[in-house]
A and B are shown apart, each in its own frame.
Chain A
Amino acid sequence: QQQVKQSPQSLIVQKGGISIINCAYENTAFDYFPWYQQFPGKGPALLIAIRPDVSEKKEGRFTISFNKSAKQFSLHIMDSQPGDSATYFCAATQYSGAGSYQLTFGKGTKLSVIP
C-alpha cells in the first residue's frame, strides 16, 4: 500500500517557469511533510517542510501548499532554473511510538528545466 502518492513522474519546464509537483497521502496520523531534492549520486537534501496546521509555507522560490481536508500537498518552484533539475521527493512522517519519526517517501518526480 503506497501511503504517499506523487505526481507527475517527470516534468519538463522552461527556464523562468513554475514547476508544480503534487502529493497525496492516506494516513491521517502523518504530522510533518517535507520535500527533498536529490541530485544523481547524492543523498536526498531537505528543501522545505510544513506541518498540517499551516496551509502554506514559502522559502525563497519554493512554496508548499497544504490542503488538510483533501490530504494533499504540493511543491511550487517559482522562476525555475536549470540548476533546479533534480529528482524531488515528497515525504510524510509520524511518531512511531518507538521513538522514531520515520519518513514515508513518494516515488519521486524528475524535473528538467530547459533553457
Chain B
Amino acid sequence: DTGVSQDPRHKITKRGQNVTFRCDPISEHNRLYWYRQTLGQGPEFLTYFQNEAQLEKSRLLSDRFSAERPKGSFSTLEIQRTEQGDSAMYLCASTPREGRVYFGPGTRLTVT
C-alpha cells in the first residue's frame, strides 16, 4: 500500500453512461497525476495537477474527460458518454516533487 487510494477499484458501465473516479493522494503531496493503462501496455499520461491547478493535459484527454482537484486535496476524473475504447485501468499518482512517484492501485473500468 503506497498511501494513494482510489475508488472504486472496479467499475462496469454501459456505453453512453457517465462515470467518476476518485483519487486520494498522500496528504503532503502537492503534485498529482492521472494515467491510463490498457491491457498489455505501459501507463500513459493523462493530466497533471499542482495543488488545485490543472497545469497539463495530454492529447489523450478528449473533451469527454474532465478532471478536478478542489482545494488541492483529492482529485476526481469524470468520463462522459463512455465508449468501449475507454475500457482501461485508470491510475492516480502523487509526488511531493521531482523523483519518486507513488501510484495508487487503479480503477479498472469496463465499458459494455
Partner of A41, one of B41, B50, B100, B105: B105
Q: Decide if B50 touches A99 in the complex (CB within 8 Å).
A: yes
Interface membership of chain A positions 88-115, coded 1 if the CB is closer than 8 angstroms to chain B and 0 otherwise = 0101010110111111111110000000
Partner of B56, one of A91, A99, A106: A99
What separation, in Å, do the CA atoms of A43 and B102 have in the docked complex?
Answer: 9
The minimal Cβ–Cβ distance linking A54 to chain B, given in whole angstroms, is 14
Q: Could you tell me which residues of chain A, from 51 to 66, have a CB within 8 Å of some CB in chain B?
A: none
Q: Decide if B56 touches A105 in the complex (CB within 8 Å).
A: no
With contacts A43-B2, A103-B101 known, is A108 near B42, CB below 8 A? yes
Interface membership of chain B positions 26-46, coded 1 if the CB is closer than 8 angstroms to chain A and 0 otherwise = 000001010100001111110
Q: Decide if A43 touches B103 in the complex (CB within 8 Å).
A: yes
Select the residue from A34, A93, A105 with max chain B CB neighbours within 10 A.
A105
What separation, in Å, do the CA atoms of A95 and B99 have in the docked complex?
Answer: 11
Q: Decide if B41 touches A99 in the complex (CB within 8 Å).
A: no
What separation, in Å, do the CA atoms of A108 and B105 have in the docked complex?
Answer: 17
A-B contact count (CB 8 A): 72
Q: Decide if A102 touches B48 in the complex (CB within 8 Å).
A: yes
What are 18 contact pairs spanning A and B, CB under 8 A? A6-B42, A32-B99, A34-B101, A43-B4, A43-B105, A44-B91, A45-B2, A46-B101, A89-B42, A96-B48, A96-B56, A100-B33, A100-B50, A101-B98, A101-B99, A103-B33, A107-B40, A108-B41
- Nearest A residue to B95 via CB reads A101
Q: How many residues of A contact B (CB 8 A)?
A: 28
B35: which A residues are within 8 A, CB to CB? 103
- Nearest A residue to B92 via CB reads A43
Partner of A104, one of B45, B48, B106: B45
A95: which B residues are within 8 A, CB to CB? 98
What 14 new A-B contacts, CB under 8 Å, besides A98-B56, A100-B55?
A: A4-B42, A6-B42, A42-B105, A43-B2, A43-B91, A45-B103, A49-B100, A89-B42, A99-B55, A100-B31, A101-B99, A103-B43, A104-B45, A108-B40
